[in-house]
A = this chain, B = another copy of it.
Amino acid sequence: VPSEVTKVGLVGLGVVGTGVARLLLEDADLLTSRVGRPIELAHIVDIDLTRDRGLSIPDGLLTDDLDRLMNDASTTILVETVGGTTFAKDLVLRALCSGKDVVTANKALLAKHGKEIFGVARQHGRCVSFEASCGGGIPLIGPLCRGLLANRISAVYGILNGTCNYILTEMLGTGKAYADAVSEAMEAGFAEDPPDLDVGGYDTAHKLAIIASLAFGMSVDYDRITIEGITKLDLTDLKAGEELGYVCKLLAIGRRDDGRLSLRVHPAFIAAHHPLANTWGPFNAVSVYGHAVGHTLYYGRGAGQTPTASAVVSDVIDIAIGNAGRTFATLRIYPDVTESPTYQPIEEIVGRYYVRLMAHDRPGVMAQMTRVFGEHGISLSAIMQHEMPEEATDNAVPVVVLTHEAQEGDVQGALAELSQLDALTAEPVCIRVVEEHEEF
């Protein structure tokens, strides 16, 4: 029995778009046999008609005429792999208004304009699928919208940027300085040039906004996410953390405590035995804690041509068989229909802190420094001072302090005061320690 064909239009033939085209063209038979109906790539739209993408594209498929796709009512799914938040936004809204469902891998777009885009989709009886927007090929949006639906989720902790994780892995693994690891990542194609969106933590924050919206069933405001990148990390601290049993990762953290959301992206020390700590190189992983399921974790390649395309094509299938539309229309978890959260101010979060102070090696300095912590109500669980390194030129030794649980506001106050001390030869370095989240 021949079934109805589902026709797909793809806009943007970059890295991810090429991967999507590759899977839809080269694996057409596989998909048809599994889905029980053909999925046909009917249009590929890009402004560059000549660049070699290492892919054999049938004649007449690639065009720079977006209208050809938009005016083809028989093409019911538009895949947006353009990126950015201006043209892509217009494109997605136009597609929805003209009756097409949309698949997008665009985290920046959804983090900033998700609420509006979902609202327009709902108005027009269409849906937006975005499995590829977070964690590349890892099925992550799927579990949040399906497998974990019986849970009140209390926290998500994610390594969501492969570039940062690659850089941190290289630093720790080969003893490279941050700047060298970044340069190498750019050469290896694991980082864009400039790498700011990744290393600054913004890409991770985009993904956190999307994940937190679904996990907590709240309309999350991207601008309320506290963001710190990895640009100030020093190999010294990664090594010191390792000695203490921690691995440093750029973490996206979303927590619900007493009804308030805390959303932040920053480098964090996590216990070496936690599965997140054992996520190396360009891999991503996300821990999700639910009141019924406890701790679950999802791991895989967070970027790359075919991994991301794998997620896009799974969304296409989900739309083709009618499930995505029904999920979107039915479940009340998308940010256009959920409420805004109350946010916990960053000053009020509680945790342990790693602090490194570069101090002159002279009498009384240790007392001065520890006094400042005490005056801010912070008690210390460990202090490490090694011998002065031979290469030290400024007569300064690193003193590493690990606090007991303390409030962020108090720690920031202590750091501000510490940085005024004459005995310090550099700004204090502070990395938050993230303890294993309670499961039930």
- Mark A132-143 against chain B: 1 for CB-CB distance below 8 A, else 0: 000001110011
Q: How far is the CB of A401 from chain B (nearest CB, A)?
A: 29
Query: Within 8 Å of chain B (Cβ to Cβ): is A219?
Result: no
Contact of A142 among B19, B147, B283, B307 (CB under 8 A): B147
| CB nearest neighbor in B for A27 | B150
Q: In the complex, are the beta carbons of A23 and B296 less than 8 A apart?
A: no
Partner of A150, one of B31, B296, B300: B31
A199 to B138, CA, bound (A): 31
* Distance in Å: Cβ of A400 to nearest Cβ of chain B: 26
Bound CA–CA A440/B300 (angstroms): 13
Contact with B along A309-344 (1 / 0, CB 8 A): 111011001100111001100111100000000000
Which residue on chain B has the smallest CB distance to residue A283? B295
Asked whether any CB of chain B lies closer than 8 Å to the CB of A35, the reply is yes
Number of interface residues of A (CB under 8 A): 63
Given A149-B34, A275-B299, A332-B36, are A292 and B307 neighbors across the interface (CB < 8 Å)? yes
Q: Is the CB of A299 within 8 A of B297?
A: yes
- Evaluate whether A36 and B294 lie within 8 angstroms (CB atoms) in the complex, with A317-B150, A440-B306 already known: no
Query: At the interface, yes or no: A360 with Cβ under 8 Å from chain B?
Result: no
**A contact set with B: CB distance below 8 Å:** 19, 23, 27, 30-31, 33-37, 131, 137-139, 142-143, 146-152, 217, 273, 275, 278-280, 283, 285, 290-301, 304, 306-307, 309-311, 313-314, 317-318, 321-323, 326-327, 330-333, 440
Which residues from chain B contact A31 at a C-beta distance below 8 Å?
149-150
Nearest chain-B residue to A294 (Cβ)?
A: B301
> How far does the alpha carbon of A278 sit from the alpha carbon of B332 in the complex, in Å?
36
Residues of B within 8 Å of A149, CB to CB, are 31, 34-35, 313-314, 317
Q: Is the CB of B331 within 8 A of A321?
A: yes
CB pair A294–B147 under 8 Å, yes or no, is no
Bound: A141/B39 CA distance, A: 23
The residue that A146 contacts in the complex, of B292, B293, B300, B314, with Cβ under 8 A, is B314
Chain B residues near A317 (CB, 8 Å)?
A: 146, 149-150
User: How long is the Cα–Cα vector from A273 to B139 in the complex, in angstroms?
Assistant: 23
Q: Across the interface, do B310 and A148 meet the contact criterion of CB distance under 8 Å?
A: yes
Cα–Cα, bound, A312→B376 (Å):
49
Determine whether the beta carbon of A292 is less than 8 Å from that of B321: no
Chain B residue at minimal CB-CB distance from A277? B278
Cβ–Cβ < 8 Å partners of A297 in chain B? 285, 297-300
Contacts of A294 in B (CB 8 A): 137, 300-301, 304, 306-307
Q: Contact at A330–B36, with CB atoms within 8 Å?
A: yes
Please, which residues of chain B bring their CB within 8 A of the CB of A283? Answer: 295
The answer to whether A310 touches B151 (Cβ under 8 A) is yes
Task: Establish whether residues B280 and A306, one from each chain, have CB atoms under 8 Å apart when the complex forms.
Answer: no
Q: Which residue of B lies closest to A297 (CB)?
A: B299
Sorted nearest first, the 4 A-B pairs with minimum C-beta distance are A139-B147, A296-B300, A150-B313, A137-B293
Identify 30 residue pairs between A and B in the complex whose beta-carbon atoms are under 8 Å apart, listed by A's number.
A30-B152, A31-B149, A33-B332, A34-B333, A35-B149, A131-B147, A138-B296, A139-B296, A142-B142, A143-B143, A146-B146, A146-B314, A146-B317, A149-B314, A150-B309, A150-B313, A151-B310, A275-B278, A275-B299, A290-B310, A292-B307, A293-B307, A294-B306, A294-B307, A295-B300, A295-B301, A296-B300, A299-B299, A321-B327, A323-B326
Bound complex: CA A349 to CA B303 (Å): 33
